[in-house]
Chains A and B, each alone.
Chain A
């Protein structure tokens, strides 16, 4: 009796220790990021100091004041339109990439067809082309098509950034769903489409959620192409807006950190919400049995 209680206690202790270790490890990993978040609430004077100021003496919202234009500064940064642009562009491009990606991933996982390997590889290799090699030609094409400084222009680019890896991920997830499930449904009289929609799609939710988070984060944070293809408040996104805190010879690092917090929080919230669906979805591997 006592033995089993003891081992239970030590098991419990082990669990707690493991949790704490992991948590501390994560915390250390996050430190460089947390420094940015903390800096958003401190004046420049304290952030980059010699001798260093380890314990914040002065926590303030002034840096956010500079962005939104309250407090001493009357002129803010058009963060509202940056935010709206970022949100529209990231969400739209994610949804489109997911639709295209699910269709493509399903085709790769479920069909045998000619040039399959070649097409798959081709899609991936196109994605591997560095943005810096594309920036000028894309700009030239976009300017002919009137897509420069439009949300649509950036959405198209981000869809192409995200489609290949969405396909890749979703292909992988579909492969793990036994074709027998859908075949059984088809035997029971479902069409292939119904079988997909009723059986396979729900099981692939985790893959789709994961791909969606990735696509969203890529679009939300992308800088290099956005800085080339956007110009005004019509389409400038939050990461491009970060540079509003730099002038030719000066930088306001605290202001930039405050802006960074504005960028990070929605992404973090979304990731946290989707985590739940990830948990529900990721366990589907067990279904396979």
Chain B
């Protein structure tokens, strides 16, 4: 509300000289806004737009830090520890945000309600921690199933599959089908039907979404860990079975996102559950052998009838200690504006504004880029219908860190799925108790 008032005032007084941005961002002459932005080649195109905001508002932007999210996470924790939160705007992420307590302000009331209303409602609700909108989403991430189209067009394979499994070979609708097809396609060590990330928070995220898709839950209403339920064992067993059947590369327990992405691009993986950010890479002949042969479908369903949809959003937050919250709000609004989300959507990032989804798809179709249009459509549906975040509690990372070594132990055969989950559950229960739940 405050911002709109200010904007109205700004409009009244503004000279007409500046090259018009679609929106008026206010006037902050001589002010220097200190920001920490996630760095990396994928994210730079947006920052190239910043001079437009500087020209419009008269403010200067000083990028005091630019790192990837894991490094930025460390840095923000150091800032909290050292009391050096002397900057205004920071890149944030829905999965990291709950850890930071109340260092960031509630954006409700600071960013105009009309602006917030233009965003995908689910993305906004996932950016909300304890009823506070601590971040404004920049772009979203969710995984869908990439596959090699040619594998499903081979008549001999189709017939062979039908006799073996009793149903038609088509891109899988359920995770049970994924398992069948993965085993069917695999020819180790040259070709594998599937792969998954096997370490860090990544494997835990994959387990977690499978747990939810199978109808289970991480915690009950009182925050007791319940992931060692039957649904949990079934979820973990999926990974264990694929590993034992050599339907995934034997190195997966050490894989992170770079390994799975590069693996699928190498053309020797049939099905790959992966993030939207890879789609451009997969379809680029310079980077990928499967370019032109990439199919995409919504993530399959688990035994609970729900699709997997572990999701998160890259976001921007404003610090509590910021000395010019209006300028900060204006900047965050600018970075997530329609025009700028279009800039990022053209590069393949998934937008968070409803209109950008539609317009980006239309633009890709208009340009004859059927692949990108298809990718956008698929991800639009899953972001609207399937996406869910990990539990938005500060203890999530800590719980995750006791879980994933146990998940790995089950995958490599050191423990059964039930033993591994029971052991992880016991440790998680201690953490939750120490943190003062139940």
Q: Which residues of chain A have a CB within 8 Å of any CB of chain B? A: 43-45, 48-51, 62, 66, 73-75, 77, 136, 139-140, 143-144, 148-149, 227-228, 231-233, 236, 243-253, 255
Contacts and interface: CB of A to CB of B under 8 A. Distances in A.
Contacts of B391: none
Contacts of A232: 63-66
A51 B267 CA distance: 9
A44 B82 contact: no
Nearest to A140: B82
B189 to A, nearest CB: 9
28 contacts: A43-B287, A44-B262, A44-B287, A45-B265, A45-B286, A48-B262, A48-B263, A50-B190, A50-B267, A74-B45, A74-B48, A77-B44, A140-B78, A140-B82, A143-B84, A149-B65, A227-B67, A228-B75, A231-B66, A233-B66, A243-B40, A243-B67, A246-B40, A249-B261, A251-B258, A251-B261, A251-B262, A255-B41
A65 B39 CA distance: 18
A246 B190 CA distance: 27
Enumerate the 10 nearest inter-chain pairs by beta-carbon distance, A residue then B residue, closest first: A251-B258, A231-B65, A50-B268, A143-B82, A249-B257, A44-B287, A75-B44, A249-B275, A247-B40, A43-B286
Nearest to B347: A75
A254 B274 CA distance: 20
A73 B41 CA distance: 10
Contact of A244 (B41, B63, B81, B285): B41
A243 B75 CA distance: 15
A77 B41 contact: yes
Contacts of A140: 78, 81-82
Given A231-B66, A248-B93, A249-B141, 7 more contacts: A50-B268, A51-B190, A233-B66, A243-B40, A244-B40, A248-B141, A255-B41
Contact of A250 (B78, B82, B267, B278): B278
A149 B43 CA distance: 21
Q: Which of A75, A227, A232, A243 neighbours the largest number of chain B CB atoms within 10 Å of its CB?
A: A232
A243 B257 contact: no
Contacts of B82: 139-140, 143-144
Contacts of A227: 67, 71
A73 B69 CA distance: 23
A245 B40 contact: yes
B68 interface: yes
Contacts, number: 123
Interface residues of B, number: 50
Interface in B150-169: none
Contacts of A253: 258, 262
B281 interface: yes
B180 to A, nearest CB: 23
A241 to B, nearest CB: 9
A231 B64 contact: yes
Contacts of A48: 262-263, 265-266
Given A140-B82, A232-B66, A45 B289 contact: yes
A75 B67 contact: no
A134 to B, nearest CB: 13
A231 B67 contact: yes
A45 B288 contact: yes
Q: Which of B44, B83, B261 neighbours the largest number of chain A CB atoms within 10 Å of its CB?
A: B44
B39 A244 contact: yes
Interface string B159-203: 000000000000000000000000000000011000000000000
B74 interface: yes
A45 to B, nearest CB: 6
Interface of B: 36, 39-45, 48, 63-71, 74-75, 78-79, 81-84, 93, 141, 190-191, 257-258, 261-263, 265-268, 274-275, 277-278, 281, 285-289, 314
A40 B84 CA distance: 39
Contacts of A50: 190-191, 266-268
Contact of B68 (A62, A66, A236, A248): A248
A75 B64 CA distance: 19
A252 B274 CA distance: 16
Given A250-B277, A250-B278, A149 B64 contact: yes
Nearest to B63: A232
A44 B258 CA distance: 12
A44 B141 contact: no
Contacts of B84: 143, 148
A92 to B, nearest CB: 23
A252 B64 contact: no
Given A231-B64, A243-B67, A250 B287 contact: no
B64 A247 contact: no
A245 B44 CA distance: 11
Nearest to A78: B66
B257 A45 contact: no
B48 A243 contact: no
B78 A136 contact: yes
B287 A45 contact: yes
A44 B277 CA distance: 16
Nearest to B312: A248
B396 to A, nearest CB: 16
Nearest to B290: A45
Contacts of B36: 231
A44 B286 contact: yes
A247 B266 contact: no
Given A77-B41, A143-B82, A249 B66 contact: no
Contact of B258 (A73, A77, A233, A246): A246
Contact of A252 (B41, B45, B48, B268): B41
A45 B84 CA distance: 43
A245 B41 contact: yes
Contacts of A44: 262, 265, 286-288
A74 B44 CA distance: 10
A249 B287 contact: no
A43 B64 CA distance: 33
A227 B275 CA distance: 27
Q: Which of B41, B79, B266 neighbours the largest number of chain A CB atoms within 10 Å of its CB?
A: B41
A135 B314 CA distance: 27
Contacts of B257: 248-251
